[in-house]
Structure 1
Amino acid sequence: MRIALFLSAWLVCLGAVAAPNDPATLDRTTWPEPLSSPALFDVASRAEILTFAHALLVSEGLDENGLKERLGLKVINMDAIDKVRQRLWQRLLANYNFAQQSCDQDASFCYYVEDMASLREQAGKFEVADDSFYVKWAEPSAGFHRRYLDEQLRLAALSPQISSEIALLGDQEFNGEDMHDRLFMLTFDSGPTVIGGTTDWLTDYLRKQSMSATFFVLGNSLKARLDKSSDQALRALYKGQCVGVQGWEYRAHSHWQNWQDSVLRSTALVKQVLPQNYVPLFRPPYGQRRADSGAFFESQGLQVALWNIDSQDLAGSLTAEQSAHRVLTLMLLWRHGLIAFHDTQDKVRSALPWLLKATVQSGLGWEECEALGAQ
């Protein structure tokens, strides 16, 4: 769905383009040790950071025509790509500095990095030896990070004609990049499902884990569920959770004439039915919103909540396991942030338990959902 929308919108703006590749994923079983301590989480984090940094550095050797060919686009926004690259380097440096604080406990993937120049130097010569303990992970990881980097550069290349989560458009927006190290928050889009569906399973599962998440609901789905149940049933469904809005229907709000009405109607319904759960947050479907929408959101007391870790669980090419493995790899790379799943996808029933089990001993924190509304 997301690919089709990106493609159709860009066709109108700039002519034919090639469809993007399938989302990147990495088989985490290629990593030879469990993340059974904070130090071992840092080892894996350093490894993913250096691999991505190497891919980023290599990409800078391509000229504009080379990037067009690699990204499958006829027209690209080089200024936006350069800005994204600069931001990525800053994040990589900050994250590596966090990750190397445990080098006295395990020196794997610990190299001399104290500034941007030394990070770029280490990224340029980074490689995993053929006899390394980590050799089975090295090639799959390199492939993952090249493809994931292409995802990010493609989003930048298509902007501003197609907005996305790749960049903030104003002070009323956030994406989780400013969260504390090792702190993550779960978010779920596009619900609720029909009675007895994945939303019911998920909210019950989170309560059993003593966890909370932010659910960005669609007005029409919430109304359909309300028509078949009651206010009380919906309040029980979302007990202990936070509820933001994603508009009245899952449709890009960047070129939709009635986008403001979509936001207002869904917000009014959530406030009416779930006043104790409501948080003043809007998540744009596909990450698409108007560049001049900031004044509207500010007037409504709303913030735009994007994300920096995308499960890609809507992609039919990814299994639940692959989606979970992708999320964990990006958690190791970015070390904090907002994780985007869809509670309309059954994949989350296995992806989320696997993710929590894989990280239970790694020293991570899961932020309570109320903190998101307080941004």
Structure 2
Amino acid sequence: MRIALLLSAGLLCMSAQAASVDVASLDRGTWPEKLTSPALFDVGSRAEILMFAHSLLASETQDDAALKQRLGLKIINLAAINDLRRELWRRLLENYSVAQQSCEVDASFCYLVENMDDLREEAGKFEVSANSFYIDWAAPSHAFHERYLDELLRKAALFPQIGSEVARFGEHERNGDEFNDRLFLLTFDGGPAPVTGNTDWLADYLRKQKMNGIFFVLGSSLQTRLERSSAADVQALYQGQCVGTQGWQYRSHSHWVDWQSSITRSAALAQNLMPENYVPLFRPPYGQRRADSQGFFQSQGLQVALWDIDSQDEPGRLKAQESAQRVLTLMLLWRKGVIVFHDTQDKARVALPWLLQATAQSGLGWQDCREAF
């Protein structure tokens, strides 16, 4: 019976990973203003918050059958979906309350919102008029937020059988929700890439920008990189950066018999090789980890590092520019948090410079990786 349950759980994981879901991206060229000041960042933020809230509110009118059809699932965890909705509304209200503080500078998308009822009311009647300065943005933004909401709801519908970044299993898990407004953390998954590859470029680029991020390494890739270069070369590669772990292999750690060994082995390698760069953080591949793993992580002195802004830069997903524009849209929506790229992909080499240039005058900040969690 136990073997059968494990097999069915594994098949569910694989089907969830392989399922075809439209990935949301928004052409920022439809937005008519550059983010050349903190106030203009707030204008864009208020607009994205209201558009997402409009989609979220509309989704609450759908019954179980309609939700299953919408998400392409036969079984859904409605309690987890409702938990997610409550958390999303909490963040939207918090973010809009901060974003409206600059309404005296620019009143675009400013409405009197003092509590949750106000926000829900404004979301329900939110509409961009045909003669609005922002009309070219309205329809593409609505399509983006419908698809993005589907991404989130689908993950909640599968929770906790399939863990993901949309919900936490305990206080040992972090996702950047405690960051200050306009503060973002850069993270990179799946590396290191082969010698002189994308990891080298990204780490060097960040140093030139006097910035840093957390590189979540795979133990097997780190071991291979070490064997093909040297300890000194690997240490130089991550100079000034932080290094966490994703386990020994990039695979789900929720139903893998050797998941504990995967984590401890890779963490020991990274810590022994780069004690000054190592941070005791585990980034679960696909966001999948066991619901009952808190005791293990606490015994190892580790925290689980999740994220809330996914670039979707994996192979077969978004192109580099689409990935960058998705990230910027989600930065406007969530106003703080953890951004994830993959340093084995070359898309971040295009997306990250574009992102920094687009936000250079918007008043946001980048979280120091050593002080993130």
TM-score range, shorter chain: over 0.9
Give the aligned partner of residue 296 of structure 1. Answer: 296
The answer as to whether partners of 1:77 and 1:156 remain within 8 angstroms in 2 is yes
Please give the residue correspondences for 1:38-117 in structure 2 after superposition, counting only pairs within 5 Å: 38-117=38-117
1:349 counterpart SS class? helix
Taking the aligned partners of 2:15 and 2:129, their CA distance within structure 1 comes to: 45
1:239 counterpart SS class? coil
1:319 shift after superposition = 0.4
Give the aligned partner of residue 348 of structure 2. Answer: 348
Taking the aligned partners of 1:234 and 1:13, their CA distance within structure 2 comes to: 34
- TM-score, scaled to structure 2: 0.96
Kindly provide the amino acid, as one letter, of the partner of residue 169 in structure 1.
Answer: F
Tell me, yes or no, if structure 1 residue 262 matches structure 2 residue 258: no
Tell me, yes or no, if structure 1 residue 237 matches structure 2 residue 232: no
The answer as to whether partners of 1:23 and 1:147 remain within 8 angstroms in 2 is yes
Give the aligned partner of residue 339 of structure 1. Answer: 339
Give the aligned partner of residue 227 of structure 1. Answer: 227
1:21 shift after superposition = 1.9
Taking the aligned partners of 1:14 and 1:289, their CA distance within structure 2 comes to: 14
Taking the aligned partners of 1:361 and 1:149, their CA distance within structure 2 comes to: 29
Q: 1:17 to 1:232 in 2, by over 3 A?
A: closer
Q: 1:199 to 1:13 in 2, by over 3 A?
A: closer
1:267 counterpart SS class? helix
Kindly provide the amino acid, as one letter, of the partner of residue 74 in structure 1.
Answer: K
2:57 counterpart SS class? helix
1:177 shift after superposition = 1.3
Q: 1:236 to 1:363 in 2, by over 3 A?
A: same
1:211 counterpart SS class? coil
Tell me, yes or no, if structure 1 residue 26 matches structure 2 residue 26: yes
Tell me, yes or no, if structure 1 residue 130 matches structure 2 residue 109: no
Q: 1:130 to 1:198 in 2, by over 3 A?
A: same
1:272 shift after superposition = 1.2
Taking the aligned partners of 1:14 and 1:271, their CA distance within structure 2 comes to: 31
Give the aligned partner of residue 183 of structure 2. Answer: 183
Give the aligned partner of residue 35 of structure 1. Answer: 35
Kindly provide the amino acid, as one letter, of the partner of residue 356 in structure 1.
Answer: L
1:22 shift after superposition = 2.2
1:77 shift after superposition = 0.4
1:112 shift after superposition = 1.1
Taking the aligned partners of 1:17 and 1:368, their CA distance within structure 2 comes to: 32
More displaced, 29-38 or 267-276?
Answer: 267-276
The answer as to whether partners of 1:17 and 1:72 remain within 8 angstroms in 2 is no
Taking the aligned partners of 1:309 and 1:14, their CA distance within structure 2 comes to: 23
Taking the aligned partners of 1:233 and 1:273, their CA distance within structure 2 comes to: 11
Q: For residues 165-192 of structure 1, what are the alpha-carbon distances to aligned partners after superposition, in whole Å with 9 as ceiling and x for unaligned? A: 0101011001011110000010000100
Q: For residues 73-96 of structure 1, what are the alpha-carbon distances to aligned partners after superposition, in whole Å with 9 as ceiling and x for unaligned? A: 111000000000000000000000
Kindly provide the amino acid, as one letter, of the partner of residue 340 in structure 1.
Answer: V
1:224 counterpart SS class? helix
1:12 shift after superposition = 4.2
Taking the aligned partners of 1:298 and 1:317, their CA distance within structure 2 comes to: 35
Taking the aligned partners of 2:316 and 2:18, their CA distance within structure 1 comes to: 18
Tell me, yes or no, if structure 1 residue 198 matches structure 2 residue 198: yes
1:19 shift after superposition = 2.9
1:157 shift after superposition = 0.2
Taking the aligned partners of 2:19 and 2:303, their CA distance within structure 1 comes to: 31
Q: For residues 43-64 of structure 1, what are the alpha-carbon distances to aligned partners after superposition, in whole Å with 9 as ceiling and x for unaligned? A: 0000000000000000001000
1:160 shift after superposition = 1.1
1:286 counterpart SS class? helix
1:338 counterpart SS class? strand
Q: 1:42 to 1:213 in 2, by over 3 A?
A: same
Kindly provide the amino acid, as one letter, of the partner of residue 314 in structure 2.
Answer: L
2:85 counterpart SS class? helix
Please give the residue correspondences for 1:143-222 in structure 2 after superposition, counting only pairs within 5 Å: 143-222=143-222
1:66 shift after superposition = 0.5
- TM-score, scaled to structure 1: 0.95
For the aligned residue pairs, the C-alpha RMSD in angstroms reads 1.6
Q: 1:302 to 1:91 in 2, by over 3 A?
A: same
Taking the aligned partners of 1:10 and 1:325, their CA distance within structure 2 comes to: 34
Q: 1:14 to 1:187 in 2, by over 3 A?
A: closer
The answer as to whether partners of 1:53 and 1:92 remain within 8 angstroms in 2 is yes
Q: 1:91 to 1:10 in 2, by over 3 A?
A: farther
1:184 counterpart SS class? strand
1:68 shift after superposition = 0.4
1:9 shift after superposition = 5.0
Taking the aligned partners of 1:293 and 1:272, their CA distance within structure 2 comes to: 24
Aligned length: 366
Give the aligned partner of residue 317 of structure 1. Answer: 317
Q: Give ranges in structure 2 of 5+ residues lacking alignment.
A: 1-7
Q: Give ranges in structure 1 of 5+ residues lacking alignment.
A: 1-7
Taking the aligned partners of 1:371 and 1:360, their CA distance within structure 2 comes to: 22
Q: For residues 109-152 of structure 1, what are the alpha-carbon distances to aligned partners after superposition, in whole Å with 9 as ceiling and x for unaligned? A: 00010000000000000000000000000000000000000100
Taking the aligned partners of 2:10 and 2:264, their CA distance within structure 1 comes to: 28
Kindly provide the amino acid, as one letter, of the partner of residue 213 in structure 2.
Answer: A
Kindly provide the amino acid, as one letter, of the partner of residue 106 in structure 2.
Answer: D
Q: 1:16 to 1:306 in 2, by over 3 A?
A: closer
Q: 1:306 to 1:18 in 2, by over 3 A?
A: closer
Taking the aligned partners of 1:16 and 1:84, their CA distance within structure 2 comes to: 19
Give the aligned partner of residue 4 of structure 1. Answer: none
